[in-house]
């Protein structure tokens, strides 16, 4: 299993922590049952940490009219709304909640150019809270597609997620399906697309970043 680079330090610290706890308890209790219990608990803890940072290979269905899912997780919002940070007009919002068990790599939904990017410090409300999209720590990106259409994508930190990472910059040309960021320990990604796009998923669906087609643009 391939591990994402964001996990290297955290996994190393977790291994050291588990080792220190096992050694300390061994010398304090001198009990083989305690040793065995701690080893099992430590192994489970490390397995959970490692699986969180897994980096599975993805096979994007590349197409200029497809809007791919930017994240793994559950679709919790599909609604018409006004995107107020950049577009300032009516559009379709799709929100994906990423639980701690989901892959937390974020992938580009479409090819184009990053025309706007801004990081916002903020609160850490639970990711499914209605105000998390505007009040939580977040990063907003706008991708201008080849048709001239602009879509907005937003990484949102949740109650557990305290670190947003992104690897793109304003003015950069980007490729559909490629990795653009990472959010640690539970979070949400919103995407805002034209109202006339044909949505291909429904509420409650579990989607895969870089593979699931969220919508298809009308030519």
Kindly compute the dihedral angle of the four CA atoms of residues 192, 194, 198, 200, in this order, to the nearest 10 degrees.
0
For residue 210, what are the contacts with CB-CB under 8 A and spacing of at least 6?
58, 60, 68, 69, 107, 108, 177, 178
Helices (H), the chain: 8-29, 32-52, 132-135
**Which of 35, 31, 54, 33 has its CA nearest to residue 43?**
35
Which residues carry out catalysis?
187
């Amino acid at each position: 299993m391939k591990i994402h680079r964001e996990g290297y330090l955290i996994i190393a610290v977790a291994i050291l922590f588990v080792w220190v706890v096992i050694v300390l308890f061994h010398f304090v209790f001198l009990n083989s049952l305690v040793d065995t219990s701690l080893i099992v608990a430590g192994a489970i803890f490390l397995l959970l940490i490692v699986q969180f940072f897994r980096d599975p290979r993805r096979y994007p269905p590349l197409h200029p009219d497809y809007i791919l899912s930017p994240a793994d997780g559950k679709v919790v919002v599909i609604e018409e709304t006004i995107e107020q940070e950049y577009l300032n007009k009516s559009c379709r919002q799709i929100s994906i909640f990423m639980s701690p068990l989901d892959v937390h790599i974020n992938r580009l939904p479409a090819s184009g150019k990053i025309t706007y990017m801004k990081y916002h410090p903020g609160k850490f409300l639970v990711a499914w809270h209605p105000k998390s999209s505007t009040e939580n720590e977040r990063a907003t990106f706008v991708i201008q597609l080849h048709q001239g259409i602009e879509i907005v994508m937003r990484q949102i930190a949740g109650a557990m997620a305290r670190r947003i990472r992104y690897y793109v910059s304003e003015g950069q040309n980007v490729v559909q399906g490629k990795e653009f960021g990472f959010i640690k320990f539970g979070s949400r990604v919103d995407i805002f697309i034209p109202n006339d796009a044909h949505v291909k998923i429904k509420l409650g669906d579990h989607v895969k970043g870089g593979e699931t087609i969220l919508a298809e643009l009308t030519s």
